Amino acid sequence: MSDNVTVIKPLENPMHGSTRVPGDKSISHRAVLFSAMAEGTSRVSGVLDSADVRSSIGAVRALGAQVSLEKQADGSLAGGITGWGAAGPSQPAEPVDCGNSGTTVRLLMGILAPWDIQVTLTGDSSLCKRPMRRITAPLMKMGARFLPEGRETLPITVHGGGLRPLTYDAPMASAQLKTAVLLAGMYASGTTTVNEPAPSRNHTELMLPEYGVATTAGACTASVTGPAQPQAGEVLVPGDPSSAAFLACAAVLRPESSIQIEDVSLNTARIGFVRTLERMGAQVSVAHTGAAGKEPYGIIEACHTPDLRGCEVPADKIAGIIDEIPVLALVAAHAHGITVFRQVGELRVKETDRLAAIMDGLAKLGVDAWCEGDDLYIEGQPGLQVPEGLEFDSLGDHRLAMTWSLVGLTGKVPVNIKDFEAVRVSYPGFLDDIERLAR
């Protein structure tokens, strides 16, 4: 067996009962970053304690925000964040290390662009391979500079200052791109608008008003009018639907299972995976129970479904399931017929090339999966038998670690996962949570 391998054994019993999942990663990043930009002390609770959110916390501390968050009994972080406010971020002595987190670095580019400082942003070996031009290009149109000139990957030094507003037609549906431009636009005089080819998650548009900054938004467009200085706010972070998706898919695959996941964000831009599972014939449903600010939350219920069928997911629905495609691909591998995910080229530039990883992993299961252009096809195999002794490599990617672990957890034989610890990026307690549901 190779080093750093975790043996993932089949769940002892069907999954049953209720659980909660840790705070939403996207909302947690924004709670930390927007509070750091604000004037005064914001109160945040339910914040996800994971490696990625720690990258955002470390970054804003290095830039002068005071963060006093404490670990709560439920594992979340809560407390106060005093922002740099109208004085702006301070010049850090060292490069700011964003770890594995694309959201941290890309949002920071927009946050730093208006200020007259020079900040070098870097990250781990995965983040240093991911494309940054999609963010630097619109910010350069607004007047920011990035050195070395023409560089597409980290490390990159932001030279901010004096921005003008921008109307930008984004080449891809990306909430990170949209957010970076809107955050920079808050410090330009006039209206900054981002138009998208398909709707991406809208947490920024929903959360900025909690910090006193008005936004306007349509299905594929969002605007902010500057100058607008955020003021201290209060944010309660609901559970992460992207984490819930692993538990829901496990319940769909494991015979006799029936679970409820409580207090999870039901933002429609995030629960596309429920719709995809429904279209595969899976027994899943949602029930609204409340709202945290403008973010709705509630219960996701999922039950074992023996007779899944393949479905087609059109291009305009992909942004709404972008982080769930690996685990949905695994569910599709158990369905009758072909599943097609249209236009999923963005998966090539996540923590790893997730498109290649899905095809490789499914090939180990003897399932045919292939790409035609940017469309992903999976030919399902109902009654799929998993061979003994399989080893999957997470490639350091948290979503892949959890996806391939479901092969062992919901099946009849253990699997080995290389670098399973990658789950610390978004869902450190994943294995405990899923095993608790099967006691």
Ligand X SMILES: C=C(OP(=O)(O)O)C(=O)O
Ligand Y SMILES: O=C(O)C1=C[C@@H](OP(=O)(O)O)[C@@H](O)[C@H](O)C1
Q: Does 20 bind ligand X (CB under 6 A)?
A: no
Q: Does 104 bind ligand Y (CB under 6 A)?
A: no
- What six digits make up the tokens of 182? 């809107």
What phi, psi does 270 have (nearest 5°)? -115, -15
CA-CA distance, 138 to 155, in Å (whole number)? 18
Q: Which stretch binds ligand X (CB under 6 A): 1-9, 31-39, 97-105, 202-210?
A: 97-105
- Residues in 142-161 at the binding interface with ligand Y, rule: CB under 6 A: none
**Considering beta carbons, is residue 346 or 435 the nearer one to ligand Y?**
346
Q: Does 76 bind ligand Y (CB under 6 A)?
A: no
Q: Does 136 bind ligand Y (CB under 6 A)?
A: no
175, interface contact from ligand Y, ligand X, none, CB < 5-8 Å by kind = ligand Y
**Do residues 195 and 187 make contact, with C-beta atoms less than 8 angstroms apart?**
no
DSSP 396-412: T-HHHHHHHHHHHHHSS
The angle formed by the CA atoms of residues 392, 397 and 399, to the nearest 5 degrees, is 85
- Residues in 303-342 at the binding interface with ligand Y, rule: CB under 6 A: 322-323
Q: How far is the CB of 10 from ligand Y (least distance, A)?
A: 29
- Judge whether 374 counts as a catalytic residue: no
**Do residues 204 and 163 make contact, with C-beta atoms less than 8 angstroms apart?**
no
174, interface contact from ligand Y, ligand X, none, CB < 5-8 Å by kind = ligand Y
The angle formed by the CA atoms of residues 154, 142 and 88, to the nearest 5 degrees, is 75
The residue from 24, 97, 240, 323 that is catalytic is 323
**Do residues 109 and 142 make contact, with C-beta atoms less than 8 angstroms apart?**
no
Task: Say how far residue 225 (Cα) sits from the centre of its chain.
Answer: 27
Q: Does 55 bind ligand Y (CB under 6 A)?
A: no
Q: Which stretch binds ligand X (CB under 6 A): 100-108, 109-117, 192-200, 296-304?
A: 100-108
Q: Does 103 bind ligand Y (CB under 6 A)?
A: yes
Q: How far is the CB of 274 from ligand Y (least distance, A)?
A: 17
Q: How many CA atoms lie within 13 A of 195 on its CB side?
A: 4
Q: Does 265 bind ligand Y (CB under 6 A)?
A: no
Q: How many CA atoms lie within 13 A of 58 on its CB side?
A: 20
The Cβ of residue 155 has, within 10 Å, a number of other Cβ atoms equal to: 18
323 labelled as ligand-binding? yes
What phi, psi does 406 have (nearest 5°)? -65, -25
**Do residues 168 and 141 make contact, with C-beta atoms less than 8 angstroms apart?**
yes
101, interface contact from ligand Y, ligand X, none, CB < 5-8 Å by kind = ligand X
CA-CA distance, 272 to 291, in Å (whole number)? 19
The angle formed by the CA atoms of residues 399, 404 and 407, to the nearest 5 degrees, is 140
**Considering beta carbons, is residue 374 or 379 the nearer one to ligand Y?**
374
Which of 19, 76, 82, 176 binds ligand Y (CB under 6 A)? It is 176
Interacting residue ranges for ligand Y, rule: CB under 6 A: 26, 29, 103, 174-176, 179, 200-201, 322-323, 346
Binding residues: 25-26, 30, 102, 130, 174, 176, 323, 350, 354, 399
Interacting residue ranges for ligand X, rule: CB under 6 A: 52, 101-103, 323, 350-351, 399, 426
Binding residues for phosphoenolpyruvate: 25, 102, 130, 176, 354, 399
Binding residues for 3-phosphoshikimate: 25-26, 30, 174, 176, 323, 350
